[in-house]
């Protein structure tokens, strides 16, 4: 899968653009650039090391999504233990997902400034700690607080996808993204599969203890085997070693020249945190694809609640209901494998048409044109085979597998497209996507059971899923609109216009280089509006890297 020699001189960062300074004036400190330490950065890790890191990150991401779903198998026990209704007990699942959505965005900037490893370790530690007040909760209120704090402490994809950006060049990252996406969707269904056995044979508290055991295991693995990958942190360490050896006594890393507290004001932090939500609300492409992605993911969590209603008609046991999620996993595997030739085709097309905007951007959605319809198709199959005997239950499982194909494909393709189309804004664009998936899943978890029981009379199960089928049809149509009209839509985007104004690859170096850090003035709404209102955009500090980002083939650092 390695198409390019990423360690060759052709892929090293070119010299800074004219006017960029490498010294800190009076102090005489020289900033270490990526081009001067290229072979020591994550991009040049051996292939085996990259995939070892990815495999552990795969387990970390699986663990975090496992935490979102396993809780549902303790709802009956929680209801009985605390004397609350089962509907109230579902709030513990919803609140974790909702706070998880916000937690991913809150953790992202810190992983860029202080490194992926310490931030992910802190996140895992806090998630594991907050399992204790849930498992040992003296009352239902304490349980909800523990779940809320656990969700808020989850860094999730904001850090794991960022690590892909640290170790893979843009032309070589799609398989890594596909692998990580599988861990995200797979963890969500692993919960009910294992949870069926837990609910049948153990006390409800074991749904929490198992989360803690799994979380502790992956935290230890991560601590022992995953090195720091964040480029700016590695540059700091390399510069320090060279100073200590006497090789370059005035050489400093980017964070050493300009520490975090000088680089970020409170206002800039607020812009960093708010940007994903503003893009979600104001960018049509981000909004549409995020709603589609969020809706498809929310379906999985609604099905977690609905499977009991559906399969009890065939007298399935709790364990059998949990195993009924395996077909969704089979759908995920089929979709993942189908992307291998699709990614190869996409790379060939981009290489053949380097100047074709549609080939560089919208071609990444090509396979989704064929797999996105699996969402309404799977829903309508599931809907009208879920009425119970005499219809065989295998029909519902076939429908679930088709939904699984769509859910994986939608997440993978939309993430890949946003990463490319929004360049240095893709952290915020994909952040909106991830936020939508978790937030909608959390919001729809509680009303899922009433939705499936109170709509449609005798045919309530069929009618409820048919309503979801109709919604999915509308959202899937948007994929075709973006595929064919994406260039026109991006031209009307303030982010895309701002990005295009920075693209001068002939002057600023090789288009395959990634920007390690961009200022909020360079990537925020505030900078865009000040330029277009005639105001003067503040000049970033001279020490800050100012290599403009080329929009083609881009991954940013904290999606």
Work out the pLDDT band at 151, boundaries 50, 70, 90: very high
Give SS3 for 252.
strand
pLDDT at 191 over 70: yes
Per DSSP, helices labelled H in 226-283 are: 231-244, 254-257, 260-263, 266-282
pLDDT at 218 over 80: yes
pLDDT 10s digits, 204-216? 999 999 999 999 9
Q: Say whether pTM exceeds 0.85.
A: no
Of 21-25, 139-143, 188-192, 475-479, least confident by mean pLDDT is 21-25
Residue closest to 234 by CA, chosen among 247, 253, 262: 253
pLDDT 10s digits, 234-245? 999 999 999 988
Distances (CA, A) of 207 to 78, 188, 212, 302, 466: 11, 14, 9, 19, 32
Domains of the chain: 40-229+264-495 (1.20.1250.20)
Distances (CA, A) of 225 to 56, 129, 477: 8, 22, 44
Contacts of residue 507, Cβ cutoff 8 Å, sequence gap at least 6: 17, 18
The pLDDT value recorded for residue 426 is 67
pLDDT 10s digits, 388-433? 999 999 999 999 999 999 999 999 999 888 887 776 666 777 888 8
Distances (CA, A) of 73 to 197, 322, 497: 9, 9, 48
Q: What are the structure tokens assigned to 425, written together?
A: 């804004």
Give SS3 for 23.
strand
pLDDT at 182 over 70: yes
Phi, psi of 252 (to 5 degrees): -135, 150
């Amino acid at each position: 899968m390695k198409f390019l020699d990423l360690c060759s001189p052709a892929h090293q960062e070119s010299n800074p653009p004219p006017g960029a300074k490498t010294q800190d004036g009076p102090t005489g400190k020289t900033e270490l650039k990526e081009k001067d330490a290229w072979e020591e950065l994550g991009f040049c890790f051996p292939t085996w090391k990259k995939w070892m890191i990815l495999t552990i990150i795969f387990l970390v991401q699986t663990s975090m999504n496992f935490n979102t779903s396993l809780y549902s198998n303790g709802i009956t026990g929680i209801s009985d233990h605390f004397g609350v209704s089962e509907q109230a007990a579902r709030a513990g699942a919803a609140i974790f997902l909702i706070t998880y959505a916000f937690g991913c965005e809150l953790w992202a900037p810190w992983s860029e400034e202080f490194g992926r490893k310490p931030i992910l370790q802190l996140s895992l530690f806090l998630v594991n700690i907050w399992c204790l007040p849930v498992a040992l909760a003296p009352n239902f209120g304490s349980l909800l607080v523990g779940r809320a704090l656990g969700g808020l402490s989850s860094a999730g994809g904001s850090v794991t996808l960022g690590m892909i950006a640290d170790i893979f060049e843009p032309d070589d990252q799609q398989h890594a993204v596909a692998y990580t996406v599988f861990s995200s969707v797979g963890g969500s269904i692993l919960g009910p599969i294992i949870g069926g056995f837990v609910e049948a044979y153990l006390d409800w508290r074991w749904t929490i203890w198992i989360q803690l055991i799994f979380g502790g295991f992956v935290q230890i693995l991560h601590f022992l085997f995953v090195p720091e990958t964040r480029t700016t942190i590695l540059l700091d360490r390399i510069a320090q070693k060279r100073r200590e050896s006497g090789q370059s006594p005035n050489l400093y890393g980017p964070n050493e020249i300009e520490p975090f507290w000088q680089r970020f004001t409170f206002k800039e932090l607020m812009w960093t945190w708010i940007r994903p939500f503003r893009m979600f609300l104001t960018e049509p492409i981000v909004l549409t694809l995020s709603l589609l992605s969020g809706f498809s993911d929310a379906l999985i969590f609604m099905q977690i609640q609905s499977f009991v209603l559906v399969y009890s008609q065939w007298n399935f046991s709790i364990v059998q209901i949990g195993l009924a999620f395996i077909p969704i996993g089979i759908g995920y595997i089929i979709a993942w494998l189908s992307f291998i030739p699709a990614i190869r085709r996409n790379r060939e097309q981009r290489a053949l048409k380097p100047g074709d905007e549609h080939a560089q951007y919208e071609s990444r959605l090509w396979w989704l044109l064929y797999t996105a319809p699996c969402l309404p198709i799977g829903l309508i199959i599931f809907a009208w085979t879920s009425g119970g005997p005499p219809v065989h239950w295998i029909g519902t499982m076939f429908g679930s597998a088709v939904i699984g194909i769509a859910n994986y494909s939608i997440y993978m393709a939309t993430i890949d497209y946003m990463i490319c189309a929004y360049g240095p804004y893709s952290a915020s664009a994909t952040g909106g996507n991830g936020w939508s998936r978790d937030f909608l899943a959390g919001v729809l978890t509680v009303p899922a059971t009433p939705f499936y029981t109170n709509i449609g009379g005798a045919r309530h199960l069929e009618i409820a899923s048919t309503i979801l089928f109709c919604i999915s049809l509308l959202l899937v149509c948007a994929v075709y609109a973006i595929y064919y009209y994406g260039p026109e839509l991006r031209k009307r985007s303030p982010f895309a216009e701002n990005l295009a104004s920075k693209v001068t690859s002939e002057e600023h170096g090789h288009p395959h280089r990634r920007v390690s850090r961009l200022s909020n003035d360079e990537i925020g709404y505030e900078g865009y509006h000040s330029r277009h209102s005639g105001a003067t955009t503040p000049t970033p500090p001279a020490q800050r890297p100012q290599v403009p980002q080329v929009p083609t083939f881009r991954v940013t650092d904290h999606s």
